[in-house]
Structure 1
Amino acid sequence: MEQTVRNVFIGYDTELPERIGKTIVLEDMEIAVFKLTNGNIYAIENRCPHRGGVLSEGMVSGEHVFCPLHDWKINMKDGLVQAPDEGCVQTYDVIHEDDKVYVQVPLTE
């Protein structure tokens, strides 16, 4: 069953700093948005599954962010925590049209 989503405008590409996370609050969700040096933009849940570290404050390396609390390495593309640690975070699709950036979030009923 396909989940219904909505596109939420979060800002302009030129406003997003490279390799530095930005926190977006949408209703009861907190999302970390990252723009990489290659121009790719990722949006993930802003809490590490280990102890709830704020991922937007983590260090970015390639397509990974390191949790600032205990250095867990999380892939921003699929949300998977890298071994030997285990877990995952929610990822959100990003739409990049012209200079505008949107995050696709589940529709709330």
Structure 2
Amino acid sequence: MSNWVKVAPFEDIPKLGARVVRTTNKDNVSIDIGVFRLEDDRILAVNNSCPHKGGPLSEGIVYGDKIACPLHSWKISLVDGKAEEPDVGETACFNTKVEDGVVYLELKN
């Protein structure tokens, strides 16, 4: 079962910017999800923690469909959550949608 939660009005997320949604997973552990607006206005979301050292991805630099972690510049795909070679690792991705000018994030129960 899924649950769509409102993030923000689309226009409130700047191009190449992000918003963070704090939630809890099925084990009641708090997680932060970075919701990103790309240059082409796509909205993508990943776990806000870099798979390398846990850097806050929402504070990194968005370019194309990737985010550069602010701690060690690992490049993480916002499409599939995978680190760009030669680095290895990945972070979870989340579904998003825009309806009536509002961004929503799908959380799995």
TM-score using structure 1 length:
0.91
Partner of 1:53: 55
Partner of 2:27: none
Q: Indicate the SS of the match to 1:82.
A: coil
Could you tell which deviates more after superposition, 12-21 or 22-31? 22-31
- Percent identical pairs in the alignment equals 35
Specify which of 11, 20, 25 is matched with residue 23 of structure 1. 20
Q: Indicate the SS of the match to 2:58.
A: helix
Instruction: Indicate the RMSD between aligned Cα atoms, in angstroms.
Output: 0.9
Aligned-partner Cα distance in 2 for 1:23–1:58: 12
Q: CA deviation at 1:11?
A: 1.1
Partner of 2:7: 10
Answer yes or no: is 1:39 the counterpart of 2:36. no
Partner of 1:73: 75
Q: Indicate the SS of the match to 1:69.
A: coil
TM-score using structure 2 length:
0.91
Task: List structure 1 runs of 4+ shifted beyond 3 angstroms.
Answer: none
**Please, which runs of 5 or more residues in structure 1 have no aligned partner?**
none
**Please, which runs of 5 or more residues in structure 2 have no aligned partner?**
25-29
